[in-house]
Structure 1
Amino acid sequence: MKGRQVVLGTLFGQEAAALVEDGVLIDLLLSAEALTPLAPGAICRGVTDRLMKGQGGAFVRLPDGWTGYLRDRKGLGEGKPVLVQVTGVAEPGKAVPLTSRLIYRGRHVLVTPGAPGVNVSRRVRDPETRDALQSLGETVRGARDHGLILRSIAAGAEPTEIAAESAQLLDLADQIGAETVGPPELLLDAPGAHEQAWLDWGDPAPDAIEKGEDSFERCGVLDAVDALLSPRVVLAGGADAWIEETRALVAIDVNTGADNSPAASLKANIALARDLPRQLRLRGLGGQIVIDFAPMPKRDRGTLEQVLRAAFRNAGGEVTLTGWTAMGLFEMSRKRDRVPLRRLADAVAEGL
Structure 2
Amino acid sequence: MKQTLLWDECPGEVRAGLLKDGKLVELRIFRPQASSLVPTTIYTARIKQRLGGGKAIVDLGSLIEAQLENAPDMPEGHLLAVELVRSAIPEPGRWKLPLVRTAPDVSAQSTVGLHPGQEPRKWFVARMLVSVDEVVCANANVARDLRSDIADEGLRISIDPERIEQADLDSLVESAVSGEFAIDGGVVSIERTRAMTMIDIDGSGDPVALNLAAAREIPRLLRLLDIGGQVGIDFLAMPDRAARQNLDSALATACVHLGPHERTAANGFGFVQIIRPRHGPSAPEILCGITPGRLSVESKAVALLRAATRSHGHGKRRLVATPAVIDKLQGWLSEIQKLRKILGTEIELVPDSSATGYGHVHVSHI
Instruction: Assess if the C-alpha contact under 8 Å between 1:16 and 1:194 holds in 2.
Output: no
Q: Displacement, 1:340? A: 3.0
| 1:56–1:249 distance in 2 versus 1, CA, 3 Å | same
Of 261, 279, 283, which residue of structure 2 is paired with 1:337? 279
SS of aligned partner of 1:87:
strand
| 1:280–1:181 distance in 2 versus 1, CA, 3 Å | same
Whose RCO is larger (CA < 8 A, sep 6+)?
1
Does residue 41 of structure 2 align to residue 59 of structure 1? no
The separation in 2 between residues aligned to 1:37 and 1:199, in whole angstroms, is 16
| 1:311–1:181 distance in 2 versus 1, CA, 3 Å | same
Q: Displacement, 1:32? A: 4.4
| 1:241–1:307 distance in 2 versus 1, CA, 3 Å | same
Listed as ranges, the matches of 1:1-352 within 5 Å are 3-10=2-9, 13-53=12-52, 55-74=53-72, 76-90=74-88, 91=90, 92-100=94-102, 177-178=106-107, 180-188=108-116, 192=120, 195-203=123-131, 205-206=132-133, 208-213=134-139, 214=161, 216-217=164-165, 219-235=167-183, 237-255=184-202, 257-260=203-206, 265-299=207-241, 300-317=243-260, 319-322=261-264, 327-345=269-287, 346=296, 347-349=298-300, 350=325, 351-352=328-329
The separation in 1 between residues aligned to 2:54 and 2:267, in whole angstroms, is 28
Q: Displacement, 1:17? A: 1.9
The separation in 1 between residues aligned to 2:268 and 2:34, in whole angstroms, is 38
Instruction: Assess if the C-alpha contact under 8 Å between 2:14 and 2:31 holds in 1.
Output: no
Structure-1 residue corresponding to 2:349: none
Provide, for residues 220-261 of structure 1, a one-character-per-residue CA deviation record: whole Å limited to 9, x for no partner: 4334333333311111x3222111112332221112x3423x
The separation in 2 between residues aligned to 1:85 and 1:270, in whole angstroms, is 41
Q: Displacement, 1:328? A: 4.3
Instruction: Assess if the C-alpha contact under 8 Å between 2:45 and 2:80 holds in 1.
Output: yes
Instruction: Assess if the C-alpha contact under 8 Å between 1:32 and 1:39 holds in 2.
Output: no
SS of aligned partner of 1:99:
strand
Q: Displacement, 1:193? A: 5.4
Provide, for residues 129-159 of structure 1, a one-character-per-residue CA deviation record: whole Å limited to 9, x for no partner: xxxxxxxxxxxxxxxxxxxxxxxxxxxxxxx
Instruction: Assess if the C-alpha contact under 8 Å between 2:82 and 2:101 holds in 1.
Output: yes
The separation in 1 between residues aligned to 2:215 and 2:6, in whole angstroms, is 27
Structure-1 residue corresponding to 2:340: none
| 1:82–1:320 distance in 2 versus 1, CA, 3 Å | farther
Instruction: Assess if the C-alpha contact under 8 Å between 1:12 and 1:348 holds in 2.
Output: no
What is the aligned-residue identity percentage?
23
Letter of the aligned partner of 1:259 in structure 2? G
| 1:270–1:184 distance in 2 versus 1, CA, 3 Å | farther
Give the unaligned 5+ runs of structure 2. Answer: 140-160, 288-295, 301-324, 330-366
The separation in 2 between residues aligned to 1:335 and 1:202, in whole angstroms, is 18
Provide, for residues 23-61 of structure 1, a one-character-per-residue CA deviation record: whole Å limited to 9, x for no partner: 3221123224454522434431111233334x2332221
The normalised TM-score by structure 2 is 0.62
| 1:210–1:93 distance in 2 versus 1, CA, 3 Å | closer
Instruction: Assess if the C-alpha contact under 8 Å between 1:25 and 1:224 holds in 2.
Output: no
SS of aligned partner of 1:229:
helix
The normalised TM-score by structure 1 is 0.64
Instruction: Assess if the C-alpha contact under 8 Å between 2:12 and 2:31 holds in 1.
Output: no
**Larger displacement relative to structure 2 (14-23 or 329-338):** 329-338
SS of aligned partner of 2:115:
strand
Q: Displacement, 1:199? A: 4.3
